[in-house]
Amino acid sequence: MAVDVGHYAAEPGVISASGRPEFEYNRDLALELKSQLERSGMQVRLIGERGEYQRLGWRTRDAQGADLFVSIHHDSVKERLLPRADEFAGFSLFLSRFNPFPARSLACASAMGKELRAGGFKPSRYHADAVLGESRPFADEANGVHYYDNLAVARSATMPSVLVEAGVIVNAAEEAKMRDPEVRATIARAVAEGVRECLSK
Ligand SMILES: [Zn+2]
């Protein structure tokens, strides 16, 4: 099992409402997810946690042999919608139909979404919207799973792969939640439970 920390120090992804880079949120959540998975006896490889992984190829190389590749991210909105960022919240899950295991990727993403909902989190849904998002079609609407076929990290992985957008950190209220260690642990537990479910099938 491989857990990938999205982005790297020189290009740290989204800058949150309070000015904290996404990379730091991704690293904190990835570490928590790793420890949750290890608690159930799973072997977990953490990828890119030191912030030097500028090349995508290094991530998929490090993941070789893993049964699942989960990439951890935190979300933003289109630039022109940033003034309305507080209207956007929730998690989103993405997979690519160009991944060699699309059905298994979808099963894992759906299980994660189901567990996140059971943990009290809501899917953000706006990525499917043509105006607010990028018209990313739903793969499993109820569980917040979308197709994002050209997503490089999911496409190039040689094992099932899911990208997790845990929450919208350009929304100040949601950012505060994402920063709360208890919320982070709840998200990690839910994602870990989804991983266990789909890998045991
Ligand atoms: Zn990201």
Give 121-158 pLDDT, tens digit per residue. Answer: 999 999 999 999 999 999 999 999 999 998 888 888 99
Buried b (16+ CB within 10 A) or exposed e, 115-144: bbbebebebbbbbbeeebbeebeebbeebb
What local confidence, expressed as pLDDT, does residue 84 receive? 96
Q: CA distances (Å), 104 to each of 39, 55, 109, 149, in order?
A: 23, 26, 9, 15
Q: Residue ranges of the chain with pLDDT lower than 50? A: none
Report the phi/psi class of residue 178: left, alpha or beta, with left for phi > 0 and alpha for psi in -120 to 50: alpha
Cα(169) to centroid(ligand 1), Å: 11
Cα(143) to centroid(ligand 1), Å: 20
Which tokens is 182 given?
A: 């208890």
Nearest residue to 52 via CA among 88, 86, 7: 7
What local confidence, expressed as pLDDT, does residue 157 receive? 92
Cα(138) to centroid(ligand 1), Å: 19
What local confidence, expressed as pLDDT, does residue 153 receive? 86
Cα(11) to centroid(ligand 1), Å: 10
Cα(14) to centroid(ligand 1), Å: 6
The Cα angle at residue 88 between residues 82 and 93, in degrees rounded to 5: 115
Cα(101) to centroid(ligand 1), Å: 22
Strand-pair category, 69-75 with 161-168: parallel
What local confidence, expressed as pLDDT, does residue 154 receive? 87
Q: How much is the pTM? A: 0.97
Cα(17) to centroid(ligand 1), Å: 15
Cα(172) to centroid(ligand 1), Å: 17
Cα(107) to centroid(ligand 1), Å: 22
Cα(5) to centroid(ligand 1), Å: 9
Cα(76) to centroid(ligand 1), Å: 8
Q: Which residues pair with residue 8 across a beta bridge?
A: 11
What local confidence, expressed as pLDDT, does residue 201 receive? 83
Strand-pair category, 69-75 with 138-140: unpaired
Which tokens is 60 given?
A: 């998929």
Cα(53) to centroid(ligand 1), Å: 14
Give the integer Cα–Cα distance in Å for 174 and 190: 18
